[in-house]
Structure 1
Amino acid sequence: EYTADARCFVFTSAEGRRLIYVGQLDTNTSRAQGVGIMVWDSGEIYQGFFHEDERYGAGRDIYPGGDCYEGKYARGMRNGRGVYVFTNGEAYEGDWKDDRIEGFGRYEYLNGDSYEGEWRNGMKHGKGKYVHANGEAYD
């Protein structure tokens, strides 16, 4: 059970990071539960769903350098389908596991090249297709 109205809290995490949280809380545990926004002292901003103080379900992260991610979370990490856009204009859309690119996805490079296929531990791995900006492709 959680409160339907938003509450604002400023606190320091176990790691010593200062946080601001605005959102719903579990009435029994006073933990972030439901919809909310969390802002870290580093400048990172997360907006989305929480479960027991962790990012969970659908959400959006904006990182201090300007990169952003929108997609699924579990256990506080990117897990499931999501889109990550880098400040340099490159982008990845696909599967994530424990904050790493893992599974099937498409990466668009700044120069117009793209790769669509399988990934493991953030690296191209297995079947996939690389297409150069000029249309030349290889599997």
Structure 2
Amino acid sequence: GENWWYRRKCNKKVKYVGARDQMVRMRDGMGVCSWPDPPWGGGESYYGMWREDQPNMHGLFRWFDGDMYMGEWVEGKMQGYGIYTYSSRGKHPNDRYEGGYFQSQRQGSGIYFYAGPN
């Protein structure tokens, strides 16, 4: 869900394709990391910029339930401007929030768009 923030370390069940800092063997630069299998994933993925092995700057995270966040990241947390889109099968089907985040929580100004009943 939306209060989730990135703290998972890549392990054998995680797939990563992208830039690395070879000196310290960390993800650094543009890359894609996916968690294809439970318990760590079940279809979750992050596509975007990395710094010191954490999402940083701009990226897109997709949760296993279909929710997505596209926006700014700082040290693995949703921070700055972002767009959170709820999946069509969740508790807020197709709703969307556009606005500020701080430490993976909505903060500051933003707009919530209600999709309404289907």
TM-score class, shorter-chain normalisation, is: 0.7 to 0.9
Residue 50, structure 1, aligned to residue 32, structure 2: no
1:133 corresponds to which letter in structure 2? Answer: A
Q: How many Å apart are 1:40 and its aligned residue?
A: 2.5
Residue 100, structure 1, aligned to residue 77, structure 2: yes
Matches within 5 A, 1:64-79: 64=37, 65=41, 66-79=43-56
Runs of 4+ that moved beyond 3 A: none
Residue 114, structure 1, aligned to residue 96, structure 2: yes
Which structure is higher in strand share? 1
CA distance in 2, matches of 1:98, 1:45: 20
Per the alignment, in what secondary structure is the counterpart of residue 60 of structure 2? Answer: strand
Q: Deviations over 1:1-42 (max 9, x none)?
A: xxxxxxxxxxxxxxxx9xxxxxxxxxxxxxxxxxxxxx722x
2:19 corresponds to which letter in structure 1? Answer: F
2:74 corresponds to which letter in structure 1? Answer: K
1:26 equivalent in structure 2 = none
Q: Deviations over 1:35-70 (max 9, x none)?
A: xxxx722x0111100012110010000014120000
Largest Rg, 1 or 2: 1
CA-based RMSD of the aligned residues comes to 1.7
2:11 equivalent in structure 1 = 40
* Alignment: residue pair count: 97
Unaligned runs of 5+ in 2: 1-8, 88-92
CA distance in 2, matches of 1:59, 1:90: 20
Matches within 5 A, 1:25-36: none
2:66 equivalent in structure 1 = 89
